[in-house]
Amino acid sequence: MADKELARVRGRFVEKVSKALIKQLLDDLLEDRLLNDGETDSVLEDNTGKADMARCLIDMVRRKGDKASRKMIEHLENRDPTLYSELGLTCKPAPEMMSFSVPAPQNQQAWSNSLVTTTDSFWNEKRKSKDVYTVSDVSLRSRVALLITNRNFANPSLTRKGAEKDEENMEKLLRSLGYEVVKHNDLTAQRMNEVLRNFTEHPKLRDTDSVFVVIMSHGKREFVLGVNHSEEKPDEFPVDNIYKHLGPQECPALMNKPKIIIIQACRGERGGSVMVSDSASAKVVSDDVSQQLPANAGGNIVDDAIRHVHKEKDFISLLSSTPDTVSYRREDLGSFLIQYIAEVFNTCSHEDDIDELFRKVMQRFEEFPDDTKRQMPTKDRCTLTKRFYLFPGH
């Protein structure tokens, strides 16, 4: 019986569960109508500490019997598979609920649609490590991200159908990770540069532990395209400007803090298998705009006279494709890169650092859903000197 399973793991559940996970379980059980508003409020308001909240919750559910207990175990498995495994929970469905569907292969990852939260034990362990970037309660409340989405171009044939889904998915993910999202849409290259420069003056940067900068548009190697782009009058934002503006000379508030860059845009016109372009009927399309590749425009960062710092440190970037190649998106679901980032981060960010998360996203592309096309994201300009964990739920 499920209520006996909860009784068996009660002590370890109270010790290991996080306050964020308790709130999520309460929301789930309230939605299932297994708890009412008064009961959920009593768990949170009548108990002063996390341990007391956990005891109140698990005892309240156990008293409601097998159905409520089974539901709580199911939600726990979905919300925090690691804790579920650590507790050694098993809960066979009641006979009337059993199905005879074919189980998924053992090596197939089950991707979560909601964010799995970090356990208190993992949080406390990693915070003590010298090999991990510092994250504190204050910095978690000061997280901020910049999200730029170019969908509608002056040339209607360049409209990026599905980009609105990417924007929705990325904003949801960033907010669930505790980031305030500064959002902009349909920018020229000049405006992208201005927006990025303004972002470096955001008041939260002094206290944050990290930033995300996500740019989604058409592109080519070393450039993201603004919405006024044409062959006659190129509208091009140099990717190098991201690193220049967020570097220590222009943004000292982010010195020694992880800066995570995600760019969903083509880096050239070659396909991994065949070339495609946007059309009214195409389901899988690319962000390629055929242009000559311009030379890379670099520059030196002049340091101050007091001390020397690295001109580009604590960055990690994930670009949607390898150099000179296109990247793809579904017009109904958005780009494959953003879909896979959301799935991997929801499922694994509670225990994997950012570098490992990006590797798992890249691994998703080894089995691309279209046999005639190929795409491989690229980690670029990685200068992280420590591991950065997102610690979702804290």
Tell me the catalytic residues: 218, 266
Polymer length of the chain: 394
3 state DSSP class of 116: coil
- What Cα–Cα distance (Å) separates residue 335 from each residue in 109, 216, 244, 287, 331? 20, 10, 27, 10, 8
Crossing angle (nearest 10°) for helices 50-63 and 37-45: 150
Crossing angle (nearest 10°) for helices 66-79 and 50-63: 140
**First-last CA distance in the chain:** 32
Residues 6+ apart with CB under 8 A from 128: none
- 146 beta partners: 182, 213
Place of tokens 């955001």: 202
Where are the strands (E) in the chain, listed by range?
144-149, 180-185, 211-216, 219-220, 223-225, 236-238, 259-264, 284-286, 315-319, 328-330, 334-335, 378-380
